Chains A and B, each alone.
Chain A
Amino acid sequence: MQRITTTLAALLLTTATALAADIDINSGWIRMVPPVAENSAAYLTLHNRSHHPVTLRAITSDCCRKAAMHTMTMVNHRMKMRLLPQITIAAGGKKRFAPGGDHIMLMGLTQPLAAGARISLTLHFADGHTMQALLPVVDKR
């Protein structure tokens, strides 16, 4: 029941403001990890509603020393995580960052993540535009 509530909260609380580019952010949340953990992951879905492709280049946040997109691929039963320098979303297309797949890795957390806290991420696009996304921390235990 708590998981359903927190998932609903994640869907409702994700807010984003776009500057010029017509991009929606949905289903965004950040995984609550042990206080001793250095890293966590942010997940969200980007929907490019514009008529041209957009390229996401970088993500920054005060919650961590560094944030970066990563891919996850299973090669011979081994999970390989690799840096994803950028992703291009086609006009009208979607990009999903989700558990078990591509995600936004948050490295060097500056303080422990508290369930329900809202963390601001800044998405940097290749054309110079930025977007703010406010993501809730969700306890998935």
Chain B
Amino acid sequence: MLLSLLVAAALMMVGDRFGRLVQPQIPDYLSRMGGDFSLQGASGPITRATLRGKAILLYFGYSHCPDACPRALALMARSMQQLPLRMQSRVAGLFVSLDPRRDTPMLLAGYCRFFDARIIGATGSTQALARMAAAWRVSYRVPDHPTRSDYVVDHSTFIYLLDPAGRTVALFNDQSSAEEIATNLRRFSFLQP
């Protein structure tokens, strides 16, 4: 009886220590990012609750982007494809278009599907996008009254990693490697909500 109590106590101490060792440290500036959002995808509304339970790679851009967005989405796709088979369904991507004037949810679905079936395309009202962009400190500029149909949208190009509870836990850019992102996806996709 005493021996089993001692063993149990020892295991609890080790377990607690091990728990702290595997708990990734999230920098303050990331923990202050994020929140709920209200967008439209091709299959219906996309909110934080829609994505709960999966680790998410989040990127803001627009489909008329010739270089930065195709590169970022290809990087997100390659990162997810590097995961072991058993983890492939525990991750997803979210491509938020800051250009609802030209990007419909249907178009975005087709756009994202090209890179990976797990990347969801979504957009929303100007106000909904502004709120979401502010939550993730996204810097962007959409012309108010463009005179031509081929206008440019300036935007920041970070890739955000959200854990299954929707918390922002890591940040990447176009210099990050698929291996680095995949490592982080593996780390964070097991965290309990």
Q: Which residues of A contact B (CB under 8 A)?
A: 31, 33-41, 66, 70, 72, 76-82, 99-100, 103, 105-108, 140-141
Q: Mark B149-171, 1 if CB is under 8 A from A, else 0.
A: 01010111110000000000000
CB contacts (< 8 Å) of A79 on chain B: these are 68, 154-157
Give the interface segment out of B6-14, B48-56, B109-117.
B109-117
Q: Pick the contact of A37 from B63, B78, B152, B157 — CB < 8 Å?
A: B63
Since A36-B107, A66-B150 are in contact, a sample of 4 more A-B pairs with Cβ atoms closer than 8 Å, ordered by chain A residue number, is A34-B111, A35-B110, A76-B139, A107-B66
Which B residues touch A100, using CB under 8 A?
A: 67-68, 71, 174
Contacts of B156 in A (CB 8 A): 77-79
If over half of A's interface residues share one DSSP class (helix, strand or loop), that class is named, otherwise mixed; here it is strand
Separation in Å of the A71 CB from the closest CB of chain B?
Answer: 11
Residue contact B111 to A37, C-beta cutoff 8 Å = yes
Q: From residue 55 to 103 of chain B, which have CB atoms closer than 8 A to chain A?
A: 63-68, 70-71, 74, 77-78
Once A39-B66, A79-B68 are accepted as A-B contacts, the answer to whether A33 and B150 lie under 8 Å apart by CB is no
Residues of B near A77 (CB, < 8 A) are 139, 156, 158
Choose from A34, A76, A80, A105 the contact partner of B110 (Cβ within 8 Å): A34
Cα-based distance from A78 to B156 in the complex (angstroms): 4
Q: How many A-B residue pairs have CB under 8 A?
A: 82
Contact flags B135-146 to A (C-beta < 8 A → 1, else 0): 000011100000
B63-A99 in contact (CB<8A):
no
Q: How far apart sit A37 and B73, CA to CA, in the bound complex (Å)?
A: 13
A37 to B102, CA, bound (A): 11
Closest residue of chain B to A39 (Cβ to Cβ) is B66
Query: For A76, what are the chain B residues with a Cβ–Cβ distance below 8 Å?
Result: 139
How many angstroms from the CA of A10 to the CA of B83 in the assembled complex?
29
User: What is the CB-to-nearest-CB distance from A109 to chain B, in angstroms, rounded to a whole number?
Assistant: 10
